[in-house]
Every structure is written in C-alpha cells, then in structure tokens.
Structure 1
Amino acid sequence: MAQSMTGFGSALNEDFLVEIRSLNHRFIDISIKMPPSMNEHEIILRNIIKERFKRGRFDVSITFANNKTPVLKINKELAKEIYNAYRELQKEFSIGGEIGIEILTNYKDIIMEEIQEYKTENLLTAFQEALSDIETMRKREGDLLHDEMKKRVKLLMKMNDDVKKIADTEVVKWKDKFTDRLKLIIDERMIDHERIIQEAAIMADKLDISEELNRIENHLKQFLEVMNNDNSIGKKLEFILQEISREVNTIGYKSGDYAISTLVIEMKAEVEKIREQVQNIQ
C-alpha cells in the first residue's frame, strides 16, 4: 500500500528524547542532530533509516531526557599551549599588546562537553520507536492518498471512455461537413463521392487516436496495480503519469473536435492533481 513521505514520530525513555520529521524528497536525505559525544552512533542510525525507508528527507533530533544540562569543562592543556604559542610569537617578532581571554574563545576545542553516561540500548530502542511512530503516520497518510488517487484514476478512465465514444463518430462528422461545404461551391451532381470517401480515409488516418486511447487505458490499469504494491512506488507512478500525459497531449494535438478538446483539458487537470499527490508517495 502507498506510504506518504510526510510524518512525525517521537519516543522518550530514561536516557533520550528522539524526534524525527520527514518531508518530501526525490531520494533519501538524512540530517541528524545530537550531542557531539554520541557522534559514534551516527552511521548506525543512518543505516537503520535506510533499511526502513526508501525516500524522503529525515530531520532527526536526539537530546538527553529530563533536560539534562551538559557539563562543560576547559581543556587547560590546550589553552596553555595556545597561550604560550602567542607569547613566543610576541617575543620573536616584538609584537606588543596583551594576550587576553578573547583570543582563546576563538578555539572551540578548548571548551569540551563532559561525556554523560548512557545506555546505547536505550538510544537504539528510542530511535526505533520514533521510526515506528513516523511509519504509522506515513502509512495512514498514504492510505488517504491511495483512496484519493484511485478516485481520480477512475475519473480519468471515464473521461477516456467518453473520448472513445466521440472519436468513433468524428470521421463521419468530418465527411458530412466536407460534403456540405462542397455543395456550397459546386453542384451536388458534380461531387465525386468516391473521392470524398478516399479523402475521408486519409483524414481518418490522421485523426485516429485509438492507439493513444488504448495506451492511456493500459497505463491507468498499470497505475492501479502499482498502487497496491508494498514497495517503494512513487518513482514508478511518476513515470506512468509522464506516459499518460504524453498520450493526452497527442490526442489534443490530433483531434479538432471541440468536445474532445474539452475532455483533454479536463484530463490534463486531473493528471496534474494526481502528480501532486504522487510527489508525496514513497
């Protein structure tokens, strides 16, 4: 079943608060913000997301639970080395001035965050729970998109059938119209009906849209089949919509019938509405 790419999930335990947001993206894009002391787990967390999802942008926030304030400490050894280096520079080049605290503040490594104790198991558990939460929301949204797209696809099928019915009479209309115009110019007895039939056959070949209509019907059936798959389907649906749009444009180009042109405009509008919904499907 279709899965949306937008959602939110969170989980809290004794050590961590994990919050994850996902948005639309052509591929999979992951951003993780967490205390620097936990950076060693980033690759593992990224791989977990990639195993469970195929598309979307994921913004992950991991903080210590219960508003634990990180304990900061000064790397005095590093501060001493930096200070002495500046003093030596002053002596060697006879540079005046005072070496103040503002110089040391430019070095971020001087201030370190004391590593807090935590259980890696609690981190992974909270992370998986947050992902399950967001997956539930994405599936729920996906079900709504699935139902809405199914309605629009069935509407497109009906429009396609309506065009078929009109197209069956289009050549006859053209033949009658052409004959009526000839009657205004020459005597009816001088009209070569066999020639008119030949011209009608040539025009019928130019106006024939049966192949396009059949391809649209097949593409729509394929669209419904893909929608019912559990795997990543967004890109496949986008490709099928491109093919449908191409066939609809061809029909609009070939046909000069006002009723068909009106239906073509409506079909284009429906295809665009479906395309907007597909862009949010994994």
Structure 2
Amino acid sequence: MTGYAVVARELPQGSLNLELRSVNNRYLDIQFRLPDELRLLEVTMREFLTARLSRGKIECRVSFSGITSTEDLQHINADLLQKLLELNRTVRAALPDAHGLEVADILRWPGMLRANSMPAESLREPCLELLGAALHELAAARAREGEKLKVILLERLSRMRSLAAEVAPRIPALLVAFQEKVKARLRDAMINCDDERIRQELTLFASKIDVDEELSRLQAHFEEVERVLRKGGAIGKRLDFLMQELNREANTVGSKSVDAEVSKIAIELKVLIEQMREQVQNIE
C-alpha cells in the first residue's frame, strides 16, 4: 500500500500543488496538511479519499501560491499595526535608548500585509480534480507493488501446499509403528496379545492423530487464498481473515502430532503463514 504521487496545476489565481503519500497500515488513516485558505475543503477531500481507499496511512499535502499584485498588498492589518505601535511605545518608555520599529520592520511583520483572500469555494473543483489525478497515480504505484506482493504470496502458498501434502502419507506408517509398539508392550507385560485389545488401542490412537479434517480445511483455505489473490481488488481484510484460519489449522496439526517430522512441518507452516500475514497487512 505504499505509494507517492505529486501533481500541480497553474490557475489564473495562482499555482496549486498536491502531494499524496501512502504507507502501510491495517486501517485507513488520512492526514491533511492544508493552507488556511483551503482548510474548509478538508471535509470534502476526506470524503473523496474515503470513498476510494480502504487501507493505508495517507498524507495529503496541498500548497497554493496565489498571484499577488501591487493592489493586493495595499491592505494593511490595522488592528495588528495599532497593537504593534502600542507595544513599541511601551518598550521605548521603559528603554528610551532602544531602537524603535522602522517601516520595513512593520511591513515584514507576520500577518501585517493582507493579500486579497482567495475564496476556498473557487478552488474546490480544481482541488478535487487535482486530488483525483494524484489518486490515479497513487493507485498505479500501489498496483505495481501489489503485483510484486502477489508473486511473493503465491510462492509461499505453493510451499505450504507441498508441506501439507507431506503429512497425510506419514499417518499410516505411524499407525503401523504404534501397532507394533502396543504388541511389544503387551508381550513385555505378559498379557495375551488379544486382537480386540490391540484394535481398541489402535482406534484410540488413530483418532488422536487423525488430521485428515485439518488437512482438508487447509487445502480449502489454500484454494480460497489463491482465488482471492487472482481476483484482485480490495482483498486485504479477506486475506487477513484467511491467515487466521490457516494458522488455526496449522496449530491443530501441530498439537495432534506424535511424529517429529509432522511437528517440524507444522512449525514451518506457521512460519510461512506469519510471513504471509505480515505481507497481507500491506494489501488494500
């Protein structure tokens, strides 16, 4: 969800510049940096972005440089001038030798010269058009990043499929080994190796280590992740949910494991899921 776009437009009233930055964030967080004359447009611009974005920390920075004529500079802030002169007299009364204010000092004083203000309403349409153009560039940058993330996630998914496929063939061998272990235990205890007793032990053991249901659900989730990735669009939250489901099944496979190799596979699955989950946070 990272991206950057900057656009500018020359208007009869002056130069309008707009910059959009996007970084990864689980939710949508929009911050504005607007000049005072455009502050009234923040609500409209926020609604514009909210309707088109669903995730990411977005910073929208707008600057406007108005064309200033000599006539615009003839309006002096009379209230500020009066306060400044009063303060000047107070200081000179306390410090007669102090250097007084000069005309140049007064004219350079912040807020002293007032240019004719530009109504925010007259800049609404140009500003929204510029925001739309910047958003188009930002979306293109995010789409390029999304394609790279898609390749990474599909590679992780392929590896997870291979790991899950290694679990099921190990179960029959584990059952055979357990059957031999039960027989040996019964013989050592000088108990008759009754087939029914062995069958009961084997059935109980098989139910404890049976992960067929978990593997089936993992496979279903793999297919859904791949379908969502290939479909595209605003899929981040859907993938986030699927990562939780994958992690739940991998945890169950690990908890049922009585085999070191299956435990190792479960751990590797969880590592891959966590890597995918971190990447999914970057997808809108």
TM-score range, shorter chain: 0.7 to 0.9
Distance 2:60 2:67 in 1: 19
Pick aligned residue for 2:143 from 129, 139, 143? 139
Deviation at 1:244, TM superposition (A): 0.9
Deviation at 1:46, TM superposition (A): 1.2
Point out the more displaced range, 272-281 or 154-163. 154-163
Q: With structure 2 as the length reference, what TM-score do the two structures score?
A: 0.80
Distance 1:167 1:79 in 2: 89
| Equivalent in the alignment of 2:105 | none
| Equivalent in the alignment of 1:273 | 275
Pick aligned residue for 1:169 from 173, 196, 199? 173
Deviation at 1:116, TM superposition (A): 4.8
Pick aligned residue for 1:8 from 4, 9, 16? 4
Deviation at 1:119, TM superposition (A): 4.8
Deviation at 1:120, TM superposition (A): 4.2
Distance 1:149 1:212 in 2: 21
User: Residues 69-112 of structure 1, C-alpha deviation per residue, up to 9 Å, x if partnerless?
Assistant: 9x99763236658999x9xxxxxxxxxx89x99xxxxxxx9668
| Equivalent in the alignment of 1:235 | 237
Point out the more displaced range, 24-33 or 260-269. 24-33
**Structure 2 contact 23–57 (Cα < 8 Å) conserved:** yes
2:264 is the alignment partner of 1:262? yes
Q: Which has the higher contact order (CA 8 A, sep 6+)?
A: 1
Deviation at 1:20, TM superposition (A): 0.7
Once superposed, which parts of structure 1, at least 4 consecutive aligned residues long, lie more than 6 Å away? 81-84
**Structure 1 contact 79–110 (Cα < 8 Å) conserved:** no
**1:62–1:81: structure 2 CA closer, same or farther, 3 Å change rule?**
same
SS at match of 1:13: strand
**1:263–1:230: structure 2 CA closer, same or farther, 3 Å change rule?**
closer
Q: Which amino acid aligns with 2:219?
A: E
Distance 1:83 1:199 in 2: 100
| Equivalent in the alignment of 2:41 | 41
1:111-122 maps to which residues of 2 (within 5 A)? 114=115, 115-116=117-118, 119-122=123-126
Q: With structure 1 as the length reference, what TM-score do the two structures score?
A: 0.80
Distance 2:204 2:81 in 1: 90
2:160 is the alignment partner of 1:156? yes
Distance 2:219 2:171 in 1: 15
Structure 1 vs Structure 2: percent identity of aligned residues? 32
SS at match of 2:168: helix
1:196-211 maps to which residues of 2 (within 5 A)? 196-211=198-213
Distance 1:148 1:154 in 2: 10
| Equivalent in the alignment of 1:106 | none
**1:193–1:83: structure 2 CA closer, same or farther, 3 Å change rule?**
farther
Ranges in structure 2 where 5+ consecutive residues have no aligned partner:
88-93, 102-109
**Structure 2 contact 81–112 (Cα < 8 Å) conserved:** no
Give aligned pairs, total.
261
| Equivalent in the alignment of 1:105 | none
**1:83–1:196: structure 2 CA closer, same or farther, 3 Å change rule?**
farther
Point out the more displaced range, 161-170 or 198-207. 161-170
**Structure 2 contact 9–130 (Cα < 8 Å) conserved:** yes
Deviation at 1:195, TM superposition (A): 0.5
**1:55–1:74: structure 2 CA closer, same or farther, 3 Å change rule?**
farther
Ranges in structure 1 where 5+ consecutive residues have no aligned partner:
87-96, 102-108
Q: Which amino acid aligns with 2:52?
A: R
Distance 2:177 2:26 in 1: 47
**1:236–1:113: structure 2 CA closer, same or farther, 3 Å change rule?**
farther
| Equivalent in the alignment of 2:104 | none
| Equivalent in the alignment of 1:26 | 26
Deviation at 1:61, TM superposition (A): 1.0
CA RMSD of aligned residues (A): 3.2
